[in-house]
Each structure stands twice: as structure tokens, then as C-alpha cells.
């Protein structure tokens, strides 16, 4: 589709929407609540609501149903009252229920709540964009989050110190909260006005009621809060929290004969500290010295057969809290596109990248991660809507310890590196205009060993402007970003020939490989326009581009560049329950892509729908059409390869999520044109809650794939390169098991286990002859039996291409069988707010063979018989506040 058709389609989408949607009139009156002044420290948080303060003032009520019947009266009555003193904010709630025996009170760990709950949100900045939310379930379990972007982002990793208790009563249940004022952010005026929202969820009805009514099709959330008055004489508080910790660890693993680093046991002791210091009421300094993340769940095992690195989500607490401010997405949408970002925190403390050079009879111990010597971040927001974030982190030199016949020495495998991220956001025009910016810098201390492997300096930056109008109904956004990397000629040559760009491709015309370069500069951008709220129809039209020289992977993430990507999306939203559904969504998408040389590289379209049925079951399905595409990376430095498209279908079904036993499953199928490829995937999941404190989850999955042009290797000959491919038949089994036992909201036991089996067999070997031929079968030539033979002892194939009896070249047997088991047992006790004790047992097994396995039973036996790697860890941290 050309740009002309792209713009024409956007116009018709807009015309259709304006002719079918009635103009939305806000017409919702703002409610008011008045806080009551309490005697200092006179309130005891026990859920009883028997303190004298709760006899004063007026209970606020008159809630409105948000779900499922938006705007209707709630099925049950809810009341609340707010009080305060010089140091704390207090909230009391009465949740009436005609059938109190049906209240669902499940005990869970923090931030993983389930059951009936009440929540209160404070827009203490009163910027109508940001809210601090505190949630308490009927069992007393807690959740807290910071809501930003007027409801567009929820950061559940924010863990403030506060107290909350719930109690069952004859009329329903009650709840009480005590929130230190130093956990909130507000201005220094004598009489405060805050935004306020209170919500209640009745689990058995899947009903949510709000004190301040918010239309279901509203664009945004926080700007529609009601108002809280009566807060007088409050002084902004500075937060000061320091949490030192100590970790004791012991490991046991399979000893390796002759290897002095693999004796079968390793012990360690580590100390460090985390701190949170309020520089002012609006700005907070977070510090971590020698951080330890031993209790963080490991990344899932996989076998990656592509040329691109795998993206893993951040799980370390220091980096995920407040991560929204340190995010600058380069693309739109979700899935793989959403991972492209100027800042990818997993770069900090990553595994060393340089390989160890070993001679005969030498052994090496390589650290699994680079040590983070220290990290600090300053975050905050001023009353005029300016947000600032600064992150600074230093990782030390990482050395591999090498043993050479008893003599020990070190090899540098990762240099001392400084990472800096500066992020800023300014909101104008009542939050309708938002200007964002980010600047990053990666600087390394290099020597003769590392200077030809790493960039010396890497700088990236971006700026974006978003504007909303018509009561936030429409939005337009523009982003521009750029990058600069410098280093030695060899280091920049590695960047030019990496899988993200492959400048060495013989058919590339719009860029060239330059071995004399010592720097690389790139740029990109994104523009999108759409309707983001109000009415049943939403839509977006967007285009994004990244130049061939764009490089951010020192501190950001983008697997490939040199593309121009266009998309149109139209979505229909129906939320009012009917006799057919409780909610119904359908989406239509279309996309096309080019590279900067004007080559057409991809096109496709899909339609998908999601529906919740009246019996609370959910179903989803969709179908994709992918057109023929030009892959510039498939031959891994060779010419671009024309690949057939195909059809993809997917489906998912889930039973009633309110029940003790919940079942679900689904799958997908891809049918490539010309039988080029086939993929199918099936998955099931089960969640069983035998009691209010125990939950079991089981997720088995199976996938089968076939690819006629799967990568085997590239063989460089004297006068040409052979791009060898094969027919890959691959099966993958996985089973995820989770068991959670929440003894009480502060003490929990969690187990996670995941066996993973994947095996692949290559047949019908071939080599690429004409990668862009019109006919699919003319793009390759398959080896005949007289050309190909297999050497079982050497585990390699020999090729006599011209059948003259002489060996022309060889390649290794690419078959594989990879077995892996990961498991974690974690006991977590938060013995006082912010202070915790962890007991962790990590158990892992792994096995690999260059064969193809046809028996899952044999694989299970082989994995069971393999030697385990066990890690036992105790971590104690105490937060001084």
C-alpha cells in the first residue's frame, strides 16, 4: 500500500467514525469529600472502626457502578471516611453486603491480590494525571501502585510503607488504612485540594463501583477524579529509608575432573544496601550499593535459532520501580514492537560479552553477570507538571579467572562501564499537551584487549510531543530520535556487520560497508494519529522509521533497523452486557513495510475479536494474512531472500475466573504458502484454589514447526559463499508449575518449576541459488544423494557438489536435543513494613545432545538422571524509616 492509500484509508476511517458516533458530552458532576482532622497518633489500625475519629464528620457514599453496567446503581452499599494528622492519612470503609457469606476473602502475597477489595486513589499533586493508589482485600492483603499518564500506566512495583487491616462483620466487612504522608507527594500550600477516587470490587459479581462516576468510554481516568477538601496545615515530608542486607549462599553442582573451578561446591557471602531518600517532597533519590537479586526468578530457558537476541523482561526491583518515566518506546502497538526502546535496563549488569581465549589444558570461571558496583536514580515531579528522572549506574571490570596447569591469571571479559539515563516530561494545557525527552550515555574504560570489541562511547536521545483535544478524544504524536556510537575501526566494523544491519550484503545499494569508519550516526522517528477515547470506535494510523545506521543496543533495545513501517488499526468496543455477551471487542489491522532502499519488505492484515460471555467464560480468536516478504537478515550477511507469506489463525478460551477451578486453553496454526513453513502450538492452563490461602497453576504447552529454508550455516569458499539451508522439523514441550501458599499477607511460600524439552531434525539440505526468483522453487537447489554424505564419527556432512569425487566443503550436523529444568522455592516473610527475610532454593538441570529425539519419555528420564545445580540462599534486609 502506498502512502496515498494510507492517507485515503485514514480519511475514510475518520469519516465513518464521525458519522456513526454521537458526540460525547462529559456531563458528570464532580463529587466532594471533606477530610477530618484527628488527634496525632490517636488512631489504631485494626479494621474495627471503633476509634473516636470515625464518629466525626460525614460518611461519603452514593457510589456508581462502573462494571458491568456503567452508570447504574451498585448492588451493594459502600461508605468511607478520611481523616488526617500531621504525619498520617487515615481512611475507613464500610462494605455492606446482603449475602456476607459470599464475600470472597483470599489470602495472597502483596501486589497479587484476588477477591473482594476496596481501593482509594489520591491525586495529591492535583495535576489530574498522577494518582497514588492503595488497595486492601477482605482478607487484609495489600496492593499499591502509582498511576501515571492519566491512567495510561500503572506501576505496581511501587511499594510504599503503609498499614491496612480488614475485618468481617455481620453486615459485610470493614477496612482501615494508615498511610504516612511522607509516602505521598503534595505542594506546600496551607489548604490542600486533592483529587480523590474510591472503588470497591465485588468479586462474585465481577462488579466494580466507583465513588466518582467515570464513563466507560472516557479517555483518561485521573482527570475525572472527585475532589478531597479539608486538608489544612500539612507540611510536605521528606522520605528517608535505608535498607542494608546480607546474603549467604551455597552452591552444589556436578564436579568436572581436572577443572579446578568445578569442584562441586561453592560458597559466598555478600552485603549491600538499598536506600530511598527524599531530596525534597517532590524528588526522591534511590540508591543501591552492590545489589543482590538472588531471589529474582530466572529467565525461561529457550533455544534461539534466529540471528537476533532474545528480549527478556526486567525483574529486578531497583530498575522496575518507576520504569515508566525511564521508557521511550520507538514503535507503537504491543508484542515484539513494544520492546523497542531507547532504554533497556537489562543491559546494566548483563552477562559478559567477550569470549575467553583458552589454550590447551586451561580452564576458566566466567561470572554469570557483570557486577553492579552501585546505581542511583533521582525521580520526581513538580507542581507545574514537570517530571524528571536521572539514572546513573557503574558496572565494574568483569574478569574470567583462568587456571593453566595450576597457575592462575585473569582475562578481562567486560570493561568498567558507566551508564547514564536522563528522562524528562513536561505536561501543558491541563495535561492535553505532553513533551517528553530522553538522553542516554554509555561510556567504557577500554584497553588493548577490549577496544576492538566494544564501543568506546554510545549516546542516544529522543524527543516526543503528544497533543490531545476534544476532551481527550483525539490524539496526535510525533517522536524523533537519534544515536551516535564511536570506537576503533574494528569495533565499528562489528556494528556494521551485525544482525541488525548486515551492511556486507552483496545486493545492498542504499548503504555501504566502510571499514575505515570510527563512528556511526543514525536517526528515526514515529508519527501517529488516532481516536483514543469516547464512543465505541477507536482507530489509529501511524508510521515509524529507523535509518540503517541507527544503533542503540549499548543501553537500549532494537533487534533490527533500516525499516519504514506503516499501520492502520480500527477497534470496536462494546462494554454494556447483553444476552449474548458481557463485553465484546473486535480489531482490524493492516501494515506494510519498506527499507530505506525502497524495497518492499513486508505486508499483512488481521482481524481479531475478544468476548466475555454471560456465564463469565471468555473466548478470543483471530486470523492473520501475511504477504510475501523480503528478508534482509535470513541469509545472515548474504543477499535479501524473498520468503512466501501465509495464513495464521489463533484461538483461546477460558472458564469462569471466579471459580475455585479455572481452565483455559488455546493454540495457533500458521500455514505458509508453497509449503515453505508450518507451525502449530497448543497450550492449556489450570488454576486451582483449594482454600483461601493456596493456589496451584499448571501450564503445559506443545509446539511443532516445520521450515523448508531453516538456517544451517554459511560456508565461505574461495570464489563464493554457500548459504546452506535445510528442512527443520522441531518439537517443543514445556510445563510451568506454580504453587503459592500465603500463610498470611506477610508470610508466603512460592514454588515455580519449568521443565523444557526441544528437539530439531534437519533433512533435505539445500543451498540458495537465486534468492529473489519469481518462482519459489527457483530460489534454491537441493543436494542429491550423490553430492551429500554423512560422517558419523565427525558428526558432519561432506559435500561433493560437482560429483568429481573430491571434497568441496563440509558442515556440522545441526540436529539438537536440549533438555532443561528450572525450579525456585522461595519463602518470603515481611516481618515489618519494608523489612524482609528470604529463604531461596534454586534447583536446575540441563542436558544437550546433537541428535534428534523422538521420545518425550526418554527425554524426561535423561533430564531426571542429569546432575543438578542447587543454590541455597538466605537474604535478610532491614529497612530503617
Examine the pLDDT at 534 and tell me if it is beyond 50: yes
Classify 495 as helix, strand or coil: helix
Contacts of residue 858, defined as CB under 8 A and 6 or more positions apart, other chains included, come to none
Check residue 2 and give its pLDDT: 42
Q: Which of 28-42, 80-94, 421-435 has the lowest mean pLDDT?
A: 28-42
pLDDT of 436 higher than 60: yes
141-151 average pLDDT score: 90
Look at 114-123, 269-278, 509-518, 648-657 and tell me which has the smallest mean pLDDT. Answer: 269-278
Strands 226-232 and 191-202: antiparallel
The pTM for the full model equals 0.88
The domain limits of the chain are 31-232
Could you please report the per-residue DSSP string of 157-180?
A: T-----EEEEEEETTEEEEEEEEE
566 strand-pairing partners? 543, 592
Q: What is the pLDDT of residue 5?
A: 40
Which pLDDT score, from 0 to 100, does residue 158 have? 86
Model pLDDT, residue 25: 38
DSSP strand pairing (816-832 vs 563-574): unpaired
pLDDT digits (tens, 9 = 90+) for 249-289: 999 999 988 899 999 999 989 899 989 898 887 888 999 98
Element (H, E) at 663: strand 661-672
Paired sense of beta strands 131-137 and 88-96, if any? unpaired
pLDDT at 845: 94
DSSP for 115-157, written as a single string: BSEEEEEEETT-SSS-EEEEEEETTS-EEEEEEEGGGTEEETT
> Grid coordinates 538422571 are at which residue?
865
What's the pLDDT tens digit per position in 718-774? 889 999 999 999 999 999 999 999 999 899 999 999 999 999 999 999 999 999 999
pLDDT in tens, 165-224: 999 999 999 999 999 998 898 888 889 999 999 999 999 999 999 999 999 988 889 999
> Measured between alpha carbons, how far is 731 from 818 in angstroms, rounded to an integer?
11
Neighbour tally for 232: CB within 10 Å: 12
Q: Per-residue pLDDT averaged across 84-99, rounded?
A: 95
- Grid cell, residue 464, equals 516526543
Contact 856, 832 (CB under 8 A): no
Q: What per-residue string of b and e applies to 833-842 under the rule 16 or more CB within 10 Å gives b?
A: bbbbebbbeb
Distance CA 460, CA 473 (A): 32
Cβ neighbours around 513 below 10 Å, total = 14
- Asked if 185 and 124 count as a contact pair (C-beta separation under 8 A), the reply is yes
- The domain 31-232 is placed in CATH, from the list 3.20.20.70, 3.40.50.2300, 2.60.40.1190, 3.40.190.80, at 2.60.40.1190
Is the Cβ–Cβ distance between 874 and 247 less than 8 Å?
yes
Of residues 413, 399, 412, 408, the one with CA closest to residue 362: 408
Question: Contact at 8 Å (CB) between 147 and 133?
Answer: yes
Q: Report the SS3 class of residue 297.
A: coil
Structure-block grid coordinates of residue 376:
542511583
Q: Report in angstroms the alpha-carbon separations of 646 from 38, 601, 602, 603.
A: 67, 15, 12, 11
User: Does position 78 have pLDDT exceeding 70, yes or no?
Assistant: yes
Helix extents (H) in 300-445? 317-320
Q: Nearest CA to 412 among 456, 449, 365? A: 449
pLDDT band at 135 (very low <50, low <70, confident <90, very high): very high
pLDDT in tens, 445-490: 999 999 999 999 999 999 999 999 998 899 999 999 999 999 999 9
What's the 3-state SS for 669-699?
A: EEEEHHHCEEEEEEEEEEEECCCCCEEEEEE
Nearest to 286 by CA among 344, 241, 348, 350: 241
Is the model's pLDDT at 22 over the cut of 80? no
How confident is the model over 323-335, as pLDDT tens digits?
A: 888 999 999 877 7
For residue 881, how many other CB atoms are within 10 A of its CB? 16
pLDDT tens figures, 616-652? 999 999 999 999 999 999 999 999 999 999 999 999 9
Q: Give 340-355 pLDDT, tens digit per residue.
A: 999 999 999 999 999 8
CA distances to 248, 275, 391, 392, 879 from 373, in Å: 19, 15, 14, 11, 21
Largest pairwise CA distance in the chain: 101
Of the candidates 537, 520, 538, the one whose C-alpha atom is nearest the C-alpha of residue 528 is 538
Measured distance CA(789)–CA(797) in Å, rounded = 6
Per the CB < 8 A criterion, the answer to whether 652 and 754 are in contact is no
Return the pLDDT at 19. 38
Tell me the sheet residues that pair with 87: none
SS3 722: strand
Reference 164, options 149, 175, 152, 174; nearest CA is 175
Phi, psi of 717 (to 5 degrees): -105, 180
* Mean pLDDT of the chain, nearest integer: 91
pLDDT at 16: 42
Is the dihedral angle over the CA atoms 320, 324, 328, 330 positive or is it negative?
Answer: positive
Please report the pLDDT score of residue 215 as a whole number: 93
The residues, ordered by sequence, that sit 6+ positions from 522 with a Cβ below 8 Å of its Cβ are 482, 483, 546, 547, 548, 549, 550, 551, 561
Instruction: Say whether pLDDT at 679 is over 70.
Output: yes
Q: pLDDT for 281-325, tens place per residue?
A: 788 899 998 887 776 777 787 888 888 888 888 888 888 887 888
| pLDDT, position 604 | 96
pLDDT computed for residue 27 by the predictor: 56
Amino acid at each position: 500500500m502506498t502512502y496515498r492509500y494510507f492517507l485515503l484509508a485514514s480519511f475514510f476511517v475518520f469519516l465513518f467514525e464521525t458519522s456513526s458516533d454521537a458526540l460525547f458530552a462529559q456531563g458528570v458532576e464532580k463529587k466532594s469529600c471533606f477530610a477530618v482532622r484527628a488527634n496525632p497518633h490517636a488512631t489504631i489500625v485494626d479494621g474495627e472502626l471503633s476509634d473516636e475519629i470515625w464518629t466525626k464528620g460525614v460518611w461519603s457514599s452514593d457510589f456508581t457502578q462502573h462494571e458491568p453496567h456503567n452508570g447504574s446503581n451498585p448492588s451493594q452499599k459502600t461508605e468511607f471516611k478520611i481523616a488526617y494528622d500531621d504525619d498520617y492519612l487515615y481512611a475507613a470503609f464500610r462494605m455492606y453486603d446482603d449475602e456476607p457469606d459470599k464475600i470472597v476473602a483470599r489470602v495472597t502475597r502483596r501486589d497479587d491480590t484476588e477477591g473482594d477489595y476496596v481501593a482509594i486513589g489520591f491525586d495529591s499533586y492535583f495535576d489530574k494525571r498522577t494518582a497514588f493508589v492503595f488497595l486492601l482485600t477482605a482478607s487484609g492483603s495489600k496492593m499499591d501502585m502509582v498511576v501515571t499518564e492519566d491512567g495510561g500506566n500503572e506501576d505496581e512495583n511501587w511499594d510504599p510503607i503503609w498499614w491496612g487491616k480488614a475485618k468481617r462483620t455481620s453486615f459485610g466487612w470493614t477496612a482501615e488504612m494508615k498511610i504516612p504522608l511522607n509516602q505521598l507527594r503534595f505542594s506546600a500550600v496551607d489548604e490542600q485540594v486533592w483529587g480523590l477516587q474510591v472503588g470497591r470490587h465485588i468479586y462474585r459479581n465481577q462488579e466494580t463501583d466507583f465513588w466518582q462516576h467515570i464513563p466507560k468510554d472516557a479517555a483518561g481516568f485521573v482527570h475525572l477524579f472527585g475532589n478531597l477538601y479539608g486538608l489544612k496545615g500539612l507540611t510536605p515530608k521528606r522520605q528517608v529509608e535505608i535498607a542494608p542486607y546480607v546474603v549467604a549462599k551455597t552452591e552444589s553442582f556436578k564436579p568436572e575432573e581436572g577443572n579446578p573451578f568445578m569442584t562441586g561446591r561453592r560458597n559466598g557471602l555478600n552485603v549491600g544496601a538499598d536506600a530511598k531518600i527524599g531530596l525534597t517532597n517532590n524528588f526522591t533519590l534511590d540508591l543501591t550499593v552492590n545489589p543482590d537479586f538472588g531471589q529474582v526468578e530466572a529467565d525461561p530457558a529457550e533455544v534461539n535459532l534466529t540471528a537476533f537476541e532474545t528480549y527478556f523482561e526486567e525483574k529486578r526491583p531497583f530498575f522496575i520501580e518507576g520504569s515508566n518515566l525511564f521508557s521511550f518506546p520507538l514503535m507503537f502497538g504491543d508484542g515484539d514492537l513494544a520492546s523497542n526502546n531507547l532504554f533497556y535496563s537489562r543491559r546494566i549488569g548483563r552477562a559478559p560479552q567477550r569470549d575467553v581465549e583458552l589454550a590447551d589444558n586451561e580452564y576458566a570461571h566466567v561470572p554469570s553477570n557483570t557486577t553492579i558496583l552501585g546505581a542511583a536514580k533521582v525521580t520526581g515531579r513538580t507542581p507545574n507538571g514537570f517530571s524528571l528522572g536521572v539514572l546513573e549506574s557503574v558496572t565494574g571490570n568483569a574478569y574470567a579467572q583462568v587456571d593453566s596447569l595450576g597457575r592462575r591469571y585473569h582475562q578481562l571479559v567486560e570493561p568498567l562501564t558507566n551508564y547514564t539515563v536522563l528522562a524528562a516530561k513536561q505536561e501543558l494545557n491541563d495535561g492535553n499537551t505532553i513533551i517528553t525527552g530522553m538522553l542516554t550515555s554509555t561510556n567504557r574504560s577500554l584497553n588493548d584487549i577490549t577496544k576492538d570489541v566494544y564501543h568506546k562511547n554510545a549516546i542516544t536521545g529522543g524527543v516526543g510531543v503528544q497533543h490531545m483535544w476534544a476532551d481527550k478524544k483525539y490524539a496526535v504524536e510525533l517522536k524523533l530520535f537519534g544515536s551516535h556510537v564511536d570506537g576503533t575501526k574494528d569495533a565499528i566494523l562489528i556494528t556494521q556487520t551485525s544482525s541488525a544491519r548486515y551492511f556486507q550484503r552483496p545486493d545492498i545499494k542504499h548503504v555501504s560497508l566502510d571499514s575505515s569508519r570510527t563512528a556511526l550516526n543514525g536517526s528515526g522517528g514515529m508519527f501517529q494519529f488516532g481516536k483514543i477515547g469516547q464512543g465505541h470506535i477507536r482507530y489509529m494510523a501511524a508510521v515509524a522509521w529507523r535509518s540503517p545506521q541507527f544503533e542503540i543496543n549499548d543501553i537500549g533495545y532494537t533487534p533490527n533497523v533500516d525499516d519504514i513501517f506503516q499501520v492502520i488499526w480500527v477497534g470496536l468496543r462494546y462494554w454494556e452486557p447483553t444476552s449474548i455477551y458481557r463485553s465484546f471487542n473486535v480489531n482490524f489491522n493492516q501494515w506494510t513495510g519498506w527499507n530505506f532502499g525502497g524495497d518492499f519488505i513486508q505486508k499483512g492484515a488481521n482481524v481479531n475479536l475478544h468476548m466475555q460471555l454471560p456465564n463469565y467464560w471468555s473466548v478470543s480468536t483471530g486470523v492473520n494474512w501475511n504477504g510475501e516478504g523480503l528478508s534482509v537478515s535470513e541469509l545472515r550477511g548474504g543477499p535479501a531472500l524473498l520468503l512466501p507469506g501465509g495464513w495464521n489463525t489463533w484461538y483461546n478460551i477460558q472458564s469462569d475466573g471466579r471459580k475455585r477451578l479455572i481452565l483455559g486453553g488455546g493454540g495457533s496454526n500458521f500455514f505458509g504458502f508453497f509449503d515453505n513453513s508450518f507451525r502449530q502450538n497448543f497450550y492449556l492452563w489450570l488454576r486451582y484454589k483449594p482454600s483461601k490461602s493456596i493456589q496451584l497453576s499448571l501450564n503445559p504447552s506443545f509446539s511443532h514447526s516445520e521450515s523448508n529454508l531453516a538456517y544451517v550455516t554459511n560456508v565461505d569458499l574461495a570464489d563464493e559463499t554457500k548459504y546452506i539451508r535445510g528442512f527443520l522439523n522441531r518439537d517443543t514441550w514445556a510445563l510451568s508449575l506454580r504453587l503459592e501458599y500465603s500463610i498470611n499477607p506477610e508470610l508466603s511460600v512460592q514454588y515455580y518449576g519449568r521443565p523444557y524439552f526441544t528437539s530439531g531434525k534437519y533433512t533435505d539440505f539445500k543451498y540458495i541459488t537465486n534468492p529473489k526468483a519469481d518462482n519459489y522453487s527457483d530460489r534454491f537447489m537441493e543436494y542429491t544423494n550423490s553430492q551429500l554424505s554423512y560422517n558419523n564419527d565427525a558428526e558432519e556432512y561432506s559435500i561433493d557438489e560437482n560429483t568429481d569425487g573430491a571434497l568441496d566443503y563440509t558442515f556440522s550436523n545441526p540436529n539438537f536435543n536440549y533438555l532443561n529444568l528450572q525450579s525456585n522455592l522461595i519463602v518470603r516473610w515481611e516481618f515489618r513494613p519494608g523489612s524482609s527475610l528470604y529463604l531461596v532454593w534454586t534447583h536446575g538441570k540441563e542436558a544437550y545432545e546433537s541428535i534428534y529425539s523422538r521420545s518425550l519419555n526418554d527425554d524426561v528420564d535423561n533430564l531426571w538422571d542429569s546432575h543438578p545445580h542447587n543454590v541455597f540462599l538466605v537474604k535478610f534486609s532491614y529497612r530503617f524509616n
